[in-house]
């Protein structure tokens, strides 16, 4: 069993409900348990600014699924919830990204873990820190040290999950 962290994001079709449905879907994946879910945050889009704000969160799961099997399962959840890729970094019904998978480092055509540039994305780092402030990344860096560079300039707490 491995501990994995999943970033959730949505800015279409009732984003809060999309994230809640995704969390429920992850909870019934085979050999997988949702251990924690961060609060939900509203943030400005990373890409084109002519789209609605996002609702973001991070989930901590324990799973026996291997990384690519987990990726396939998450993409299936996205598709079940109507994910359509209209443009790069564009609007979406649901986006599920594997941020971390244990202490593994993976660089393949389909999957990069740790997730690309996550340490520079406040909409990932703030919810990740909320659910696991003692986390140490695969490169040995403490999440708490990285948080010193994160400034919450644009995020707003929407729903606090405590």
Catalytic residues: 83, 92, 95, 97
CA nearest 61: which of 93, 95, 97, 89? 97
Exposure string of 31-60, with b = 16+ CB inside 10 Å and e = fewer, is: ebebeebbbbbbbebeeeeebebbbbbbbb
142: its two tokens:
């403490």
Question: What does the DSSP 8-state code read for residue 41?
Answer: E
């Amino acid at each position: 069993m491995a501990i994995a962290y999943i970033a959730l994001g949505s800015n279409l079709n009732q984003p809060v409900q999309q994230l809640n449905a995704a969390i429920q879907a992850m909870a019934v994946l085979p050999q997988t348990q949702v251990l924690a879910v961060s609060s939900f945050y509203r943030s400005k889009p990373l890409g084109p600014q002519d789209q609605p704000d996002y609702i973001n969160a991070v989930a901590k799961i324990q799973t026996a699924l291997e990384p690519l099997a987990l990726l396939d399962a998450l993409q299936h959840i996205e598709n079940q919830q109507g994910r359509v890729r209209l443009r790069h970094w564009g609007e979406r019904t649901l986006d599920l990204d594997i941020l971390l998978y244990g202490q593994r480092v993976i660089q393949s055509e389909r999957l990069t873990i740790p997730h690309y540039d996550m340490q520079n994305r406040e909409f990932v780092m703030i919810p990740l820190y909320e659910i696991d402030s003692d986390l140490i990344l695969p490169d040995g860096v403490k999440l708490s040290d990285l948080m010193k560079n994160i400034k919450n300039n644009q995020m707003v707490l929407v729903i606090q999950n405590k």
